[in-house]
Amino acid sequence: MDMNALQSGNTALVTGGATGIGLAAAVRFAERGMKIVIADRREDLFASAEAILREAGAPNVMCSVVDVSDAATVANLERDVTAKFGGIDALMCNAGIQPGSDIFNQSDSWADVLAVNLGGIVSCCQAFVPGMIARGTPGVVINTGSKQGITTPPGDPAYNVSKAGVKVFTEALQHHLRGLESKITAHLLVPGFVFTDLTRHDRTEQPAGAWTPDQTAGFMMDRLASGDFYIICPDNDVDRATDDKRMAWAMGDIIENRPPLSRWHPDWGDAFEAYLKDGQA
């Protein structure tokens, strides 16, 4: 991908954009002179977000209260944005929740996580990408996934399932766009450990191992300029080489017919540690 979609005068829409990684990315777009649309459920954050974006250089900022899990509301947003700006050039589907889950929890947490984290991305792409294609101009779609959707560690299965779905959906979207020979490209953003409202919990200070949202957005922009589909972000604790080994081991469970999640299996833990150390199982 070249950066023609992310140029002055064009329009970027960011879901979950009122704070965190979404706002940091929107600032990067604003710095390029783009008009910004923020879609978020947290209306109380809009005034601050708009001020930050205008200070960064956005000539126009639109903030809209949107629950991305509601496809009808997303469709209304698409109509409103098209009426105001004529369409969008960049779509960043970043809205996500992580309330925690266990495998047999029958409360609404599973449904909510899947509806927001996966369903919201599907709905936004289905609502906005056809119009982006029809315009015939360069465009970019960035969907925020997670390393937990690739290595699927134990502890929060609903979140893992939702983010694994985002990976699969975004891969299918990029394949479809490639087949159309369109000027739109899709990309999967995979953050590392980032200190945001989603990961803050009861912490008041940024952990030493975490990146800031701005660091993550900066890395994203660099990798977009290089044309990467998989934007795998490091952090202060885990470098790319370690990420690569973790991902390769996870796929090796299938290839080698190991137990699922063998990295955490008592019979395989030592083998994984040896592999992590020297690259050989």
In a domain, 198, yes or no: yes
Range of weakest confidence among 35-49, 144-158, 199-213: 199-213
Query: How confident is the prediction for the chain on average, in pLDDT?
Result: 94
Length of the chain equals 281
Contact criterion met (CB below 8 Å) for 106 and 28: no
pLDDT band at 195 (very low <50, low <70, confident <90, very high): confident
- Residue 252 falls inside a structural domain: yes
CA atoms of 242 and 236, how far apart (whole Å): 12
pLDDT digits (tens, 9 = 90+) for 43-81: 999 999 999 999 999 999 999 999 999 999 999 999 999
Residue 167 to residue 100: CA distance in whole angstroms = 20
Among 11, 8, 3, 16, which residue's Cα sits nearest to residue 35?
A: 11
Q: What is the rounded distance in angstroms from the CA atom of residue 88 to the CA atom of residue 19?
A: 21
Query: Does 201 score more than 70 pLDDT?
Result: no
Helix (H, G, I), strand (E, B) or coil at 138: coil
Residues 137 and 193 in one domain: yes
Looking at 159, 219, 272, 275, which residue is catalytic? 159
- Token pair for residue 135? 């315009």
**Residue 275 falls in the annotated catalytic set:** no
Say if residues 195 and 204 touch (Cβ distance below 8 Å): no
Instruction: Identify whether the C-beta of residue 168 lies closer than 8 Å to the C-beta of residue 210.
Output: no
Q: Of the candidates 221, 190, 161, 216, which has an alpha carbon nearest to the alpha carbon of residue 2? A: 221
Please report, for the domain that includes residue 62, its CATH number: 3.40.50.720
Confidence (pTM): 0.95
Tokens of 179: 């087949």
Tokens of 113: 């996580």
- 4 falls within a domain: no
Helices (H), 86-156: 109-113, 120-135
Please indicate, yes or no, if residue 5 is contained in any of the structural domains: no
Full domain range(s) for residue 249: 239-281
